[in-house]
Structure 1
């Protein structure tokens, strides 16, 4: 019972005893006269009325308080309907349009890289180029928010479940947005940012860059492959065993050609991880264009009377051709000129090895690709486009992803390649002799 109510009753009894002392408990009932008893009964009625009126007045002025209801725990659906503030559209909008410009540029870009894998200016470039296509799709989310969501997945390798929880969206919608953005990167932005160096200016810049690295003239690219690990592969995939690469995990094979700045100028994802490098190369569009003479590099130099056109270099797992030079041996067991050439060639190949290391270091989804097999190629190519954007913008280079050591035997020469093979063999020896003479005369 309320303590104030008890106090009020106590005061009323005290008042009653003060007004009618005959009712005091200190007096014996046997000492009461009949007249006193009559007086008591007469004075009790007004007091009773007074007491009841006071009680009713108190109750009217102090309505009973309702016991607060214990808040019910929200249902999973209602909880999911409210996005976490840190990753909500409103929070993203506040960060990207207001707070971001109040920060110092290095701090701003470092924060953006930690979230989305690239600096804020590069991010806005991607958004501006993709926005017209995303707008046409009538997506219910803002274009920059959708791009940020996909970049966070590519940069950190987040799963659909993790992203769905973080952004309070259904997994199927996350998958839809990822497929749309990676497809746009792989198709709409690919021609702009991944180009074969056929223009005179770019060709001269590339060959001069490689010559500074290797001392070999007219090198215009370095080729290599890397298996991109698949998170899982469906048991009913046709020829599923072909996806198991030489390192023992399911994968698809990525082939890239990079320049001296570690920028890709050709990307091909066309084969399961179980294919060898030579087979994958021969199935590529680049090989068909080179062997047919479709690609014409209008820059040639003369070395010891030999007409040397631009060429690319690869390891011993690729075929030796007029436009693709490989080492004489994999363990430096050739002559001094041949060993000098092999050492120089491997310096050129280091550019593509580091480019692949940067690619997988920046876009960690490529370390364990958690997308469907049908969407794997476009996701890989999208990451290659983003890699080039970062290299062109001179973004800080992350820690390199370390590739396993590669071993293999030189591939056999195909019948249609024999003329290219013999020319490549002659060209390689001429370059080796010339390089060794120049090194010896220093």
Structure 2
């Protein structure tokens, strides 16, 4: 996943665990699953700290493009640091300075330069920023906040993008730290409760499902694919004292983390998110504890776009790597080292195209190792789902190989 995206998530966890007095990590990593949202962390985060995590999902939905942050300083060597900071607060971060930038200067810039500058400061392009503000403004207005809505949202986005402390923002914006925390909690909670349900949805509508399936088929030549699932570790800078010796948070890469699981469409837009497990857990355990798994295994989600492939009925499915179980709604590779038949290996190659929807290589530093080894152990309630998944996978493999061979 994108380096800046993971950095923002890590910064956010750090902020809310150690700077906001109203949120903290729970020590119980095995509490009952929540049914409120697919992204509601039940074993790791409190309800107040769940909201900021969902913000980054919304940012992805709104086509967030991370950019390298830059740091500049205009203070001279002879200027004392405190004086320089106070001067910066008065000139660069005041309401009047923000208003001059956003309403006067911004539209005089060329779009690429404008959006690059805005992403550098707030993590979003200017048009996306205004969309977020427009949707949140009515709710912020009800809070009787003494700051303009766009200014408050910009301040919170700046904090989330760069991992700034409440004290740092307080000095920049000439506000009290407690007010920074209050505004941060308010805006992130609004993002989670008002924007999240609007954008993070399983594609069940006929139009959206058809668009997603068609785009994946153009990419992979496989019919009825509607999403790609994957997980990654989000680093936690520091665990609370009572969890410092807990091995459940230490991931296989050697650092403390929590697991993030997402399902994305062909545009890299998330349509399901789950953050429920410490980093020491594996992906399949996290998946089986997710609301998405429960909804798909129970039949709560109905995809009626059934296709006839070589006499077999194939329903829409998502694709995952070797660490996920093969199920009727989740297809995985036949093998991780190309040891299958020609038809199976061809299918595996096509499936992996669907999983790498970014169409560009990841930096080696951030590339996670390919999953290998035996497939996950099936649960008793999964055996019938495995049977249908196995038939669908083999049918799709044979059909794809025949079509490609006849060209």
Displacement of 1:108 after TM fit? Answer: 2.4
2:386 corresponds to 1:421: yes
Task: Work out the CA distance in 1 between the residues paired with 2:255 and 2:185.
Answer: 24
Distance 1:128 1:354, change over 3 A: farther
Aligned partners of 1:259 and 1:352 also within 8 Å? no
Task: Work out the CA distance in 2 between the residues paired with 1:328 and 1:194.
Answer: 30
Distance 1:297 1:179, change over 3 A: same
Task: Work out the CA distance in 2 between the residues paired with 1:205 and 1:236.
Answer: 48
2:356 corresponds to 1:350: yes
Aligned partners of 2:229 and 2:262 also within 8 Å? yes
Distance 1:354 1:285, change over 3 A: farther
Displacement of 1:211 after TM fit? Answer: 0.5
Q: 3-state DSSP class of the match of 1:331?
A: coil
Distance 1:406 1:180, change over 3 A: farther
Aligned partners of 2:336 and 2:372 also within 8 Å? no
Indicate which of 366, 388, 398 corresponds to 1:402: 366
Correspondence for 1:175: 181
2:302 corresponds to 1:296: yes
Displacement of 1:156 after TM fit? Answer: 2.7
Aligned partners of 2:86 and 2:172 also within 8 Å? no
Aligned partners of 2:88 and 2:172 also within 8 Å? no
Aligned partners of 1:322 and 1:423 also within 8 Å? yes
In the TM superposition, 1:202-217 aligns within 5 A as 202-217=208-223
Q: Residues 165-210 of structure 1, C-alpha deviation per residue, up to 9 Å, x if partnerless?
A: 3323333332332222222212210111111111111111111100
Aligned partners of 2:204 and 2:303 also within 8 Å? yes
Task: Work out the CA distance in 2 between the residues paired with 1:408 and 1:137.
Answer: 52
Gaps of 5+ in 1: 1-72, 358-398
Distance 1:404 1:235, change over 3 A: same
Larger radius of gyration: 1
Aligned partners of 1:325 and 1:428 also within 8 Å? yes
Aligned partners of 1:224 and 1:352 also within 8 Å? no
Q: Residues 87-135 of structure 1, C-alpha deviation per residue, up to 9 Å, x if partnerless?
A: 1111101111222233333332232222212222211110111112222
Correspondence for 1:438: 403
2:279 corresponds to 1:279: no
Displacement of 1:401 after TM fit? Answer: 8.4
Correspondence for 1:339: 345
Task: Work out the CA distance in 2 between the residues paired with 1:133 and 1:412.
Answer: 47
Indicate which of 88, 91, 105 corresponds to 1:85: 91
Task: Work out the CA distance in 2 between the residues paired with 1:354 and 1:124.
Answer: 29
Distance 1:237 1:325, change over 3 A: same
Q: Residues 232-252 of structure 1, C-alpha deviation per residue, up to 9 Å, x if partnerless?
A: 111213984212111111111
Displacement of 1:162 after TM fit? Answer: 3.3
Q: Residues 33-70 of structure 1, C-alpha deviation per residue, up to 9 Å, x if partnerless?
A: xxxxxxxxxxxxxxxxxxxxxxxxxxxxxxxxxxxxxx
2:264 corresponds to 1:258: yes
CA RMSD of aligned residues (A): 2.7
Task: Work out the CA distance in 2 between the residues paired with 1:106 and 1:345.
Answer: 35
Q: 3-state DSSP class of the match of 1:189?
A: helix
Displacement of 1:353 after TM fit? Answer: 9.0
Task: Work out the CA distance in 2 between the residues paired with 1:101 and 1:155.
Answer: 23
Task: Work out the CA distance in 2 between the residues paired with 1:261 and 1:419.
Answer: 32
Displacement of 1:405 after TM fit? Answer: 1.8
Task: Work out the CA distance in 2 between the residues paired with 1:302 and 1:157.
Answer: 50
Correspondence for 1:313: 319
Indicate which of 126, 130, 151 corresponds to 1:124: 130
Q: Residues 301-324 of structure 1, C-alpha deviation per residue, up to 9 Å, x if partnerless?
A: 111111001000000111110000
Indicate which of 217, 230, 239 corresponds to 1:224: 230
Provide the TM-score with structure 2 as the length reference: 0.74
Gaps of 5+ in 2: 1-78
Q: 3-state DSSP class of the match of 1:254?
A: strand
Indicate which of 100, 111, 119 corresponds to 1:105: 111
Aligned partners of 2:248 and 2:280 also within 8 Å? yes
Correspondence for 2:7: none
Task: Work out the CA distance in 1 between the residues paired with 2:144 and 2:337.
Answer: 57
* Most deviating of 79-88 and 311-320: 79-88
In the TM superposition, 1:8-27 aligns within 5 A as none
Q: 3-state DSSP class of the match of 1:329?
A: coil
